[in-house]
């Protein structure tokens, strides 16, 4: 089969031939790949940023956002049948595409506990990229939505790849009023179209903080979901939390600097979020089947992987790039 492999760090990926994976244990599932999302993490892998974390042996097949059809299964697999359309939770006990062979390929081996059967209405190309970016956004927003009541306020910082999913999820499962902040006017236009109640342009001077306070009667929002956490976003973000409110951190890069007396006197909470569970992905697939969460995708053939990577690096991809074998 054809595969796209990492052959060395700071080197271009290469197309190669590899043997098809085989069933070797009772709970193995082999998936015929229908679509593999191209993620910024893939670029970070090529740059070597994951080398010490994943300890993978090169060369290996990249691609961690995968969907397709069940091609073969071990004798102990009961949750899917051969031919079923499935999306793959990114984590098995390994992380295909990060530390074992992934989905920039025609076939991928995973386990019964990582496959989720898709609604017949959904196609692998519609959902593959929800396996990571969408799952991460869902996990954080669903956590916030469990506490938010109708009439409460939620502020989302960043309306890009994760944020545009987060907006759709919050509007689908919560009655809270949603305020979205982004520095890019086009991203705000998209946010409004996806159901944001208020959009505010971000700025270096932090003038948007006052606008949030005005919208919330001077109190701030019950939840802040920060998809950025870089470039000073947490510094202004903490000024928008209501007393006893929650600050959900999804993006990462900078340090949060808040005097501890401010934390105790207001009883605010800081909450970390990392990818999401199997149940999170199952619930996200329900919203996708109901048409409540949609992903904009740009489709590339597997052999055009370099163009997909280059377009992503250059910021030329609308929505998410998808490789189709």
Position 233 contacts Zn ion (CB under 5 A): no
Binding mask 237-266 for Zn ion (x = CB under 5 A): ------------------------------
Instruction: Return the residues of window 36-65 that contact Zn ion according to CB under 5 A.
Output: 39, 41
CB of 294 to Zn ion, least distance (A): 18
Nearer to Zn ion by Cβ, of 91 and 154: the residue is 91
CB of 136 to Zn ion, least distance (A): 8
- Conformation bin of residue 179: beta by default, left when phi > 0, alpha when psi is -120 to 50: beta
Instruction: Return the residues of window 94-133 that contact Zn ion according to CB under 5 A.
Output: 132
CB of 275 to Zn ion, least distance (A): 9
Nearer to Zn ion by Cβ, of 171 and 320: the residue is 320
Piece in contact with Zn ion (CB under 5 A), picked from 10-18, 35-43, 159-167, 314-322? 35-43
CB of 41 to Zn ion, least distance (A): 5
Q: How far apart are CA 84 and CA 53, in angstroms?
A: 34
CB of 11 to Zn ion, least distance (A): 20
CB of 102 to Zn ion, least distance (A): 10
CB 286 within 8 A of CB 310: no
Residues forming a β-bridge with 187: none
Nearer to Zn ion by Cβ, of 39 and 169: the residue is 39
Q: How far apart are CA 83 and CA 81, in angstroms?
A: 6
Q: For Zn ion, which residue has the nearest CB?
A: 39
CB 69 within 8 A of CB 18: no
Residue 112, SS3? helix
Nearer to Zn ion by Cβ, of 139 and 171: the residue is 139
Residue count, binding to Zn ion (CB under 5 A): 3
Nearer to Zn ion by Cβ, of 40 and 149: the residue is 40
Instruction: Return the residues of window 130-149 that contact Zn ion according to CB under 5 A.
Output: 132
Give one DSSP letter per residue of 221-256, joined into a string.
Answer: EEEEEES---TTHHHHHGGGEEEEEEEEE-S-SS--
**CB atoms closer than 10 angstroms to residue 306:** 14
Nearer to Zn ion by Cβ, of 135 and 142: the residue is 135
Residue 54, SS3? helix
Q: Which two tokens stand for residue 144?
A: 């916030």
Nearer to Zn ion by Cβ, of 132 and 246: the residue is 132
Q: How far apart are CA 128 and CA 285, in angstroms?
A: 11
Nearer to Zn ion by Cβ, of 154 and 162: the residue is 162
CB of 49 to Zn ion, least distance (A): 13
Crossing angle for the helix pair 163-173 and 133-145, nearest 10 degrees? Answer: 40
Q: How far apart are CA 318 and CA 296, in angstroms?
A: 7
CB of 186 to Zn ion, least distance (A): 22
Nearer to Zn ion by Cβ, of 39 and 180: the residue is 39
CB of 316 to Zn ion, least distance (A): 18
Q: How far apart are CA 157 and CA 248, in angstroms?
A: 10
What are the start-end ranges of the H helices in 96-148? 124-127, 133-145
How far, CA to CA in Å, does 11 sit from each of 7, 48, 53, 203? 7, 10, 19, 37
Interacting residues with Zn ion (CB under 5 A): 39, 41, 132
């Amino acid at each position: 089969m054809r595969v796209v492999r990492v052959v060395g760090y700071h080197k271009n990926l290469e197309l190669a031939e590899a043997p098809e994976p085989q069933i070797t244990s009772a709970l193995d599932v082999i998936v015929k790949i229908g679509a593999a999302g191209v993620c910024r993490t893939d670029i970070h892998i090529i740059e070597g940023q994951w080398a010490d974390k994943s300890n993978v042996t090169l060369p290996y097949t990249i691609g961690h956002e995968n969907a397709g059809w069940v091609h073969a299964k071990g004798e102990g697999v009961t949750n899917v049948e051969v031919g079923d359309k499935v999306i793959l939770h990114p984590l098995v006990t390994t992380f295909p595409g990060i530390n074992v062979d992934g989905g920039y390929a025609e076939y991928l081996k995973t386990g019964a506990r990582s496959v989720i059967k898709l609604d017949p209405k959904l196609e692998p190309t519609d959902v593959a990229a929800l396996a990571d970016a969408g799952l991460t956004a869902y996990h954080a927003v669903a956590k916030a939505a469990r506490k938010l009541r109708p009439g409460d306020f939620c502020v989302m910082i960043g309306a890009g790849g994760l944020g545009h999913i987060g907006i759709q999820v919050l509007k689908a499962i919560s009655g809270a009023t949603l305020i979205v902040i982004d520095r890019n006017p086009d991203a705000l236009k998209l946010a409004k179209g996806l159901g944001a109640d208020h959009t505010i342009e971000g700025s270096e001077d932090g003038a948007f903080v006052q606008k949030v306070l005005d919208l919330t009667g001077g109190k701030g929002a019950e939840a802040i979901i920060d998809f950025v956490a870089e470039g000073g976003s947490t510094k202004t973000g903490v000024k928008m939390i209501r007393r006893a409110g929650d600050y959900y951190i999804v993006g990462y890069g900078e340090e949060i600097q808040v005097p501890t007396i401010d934390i105790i006197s207001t009883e605010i909470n800081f909450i970390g979020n990392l990818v999401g569970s199997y149940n999170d992905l199952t619930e996200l697939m329900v919203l996708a089947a109901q048409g409540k969460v949609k992903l904009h995708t740009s489709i590339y053939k597997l052999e055009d992987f370099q163009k997909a990577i280059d377009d992503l690096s250059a910021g030329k991809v609308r929505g998410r790039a998808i490789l189709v074998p």
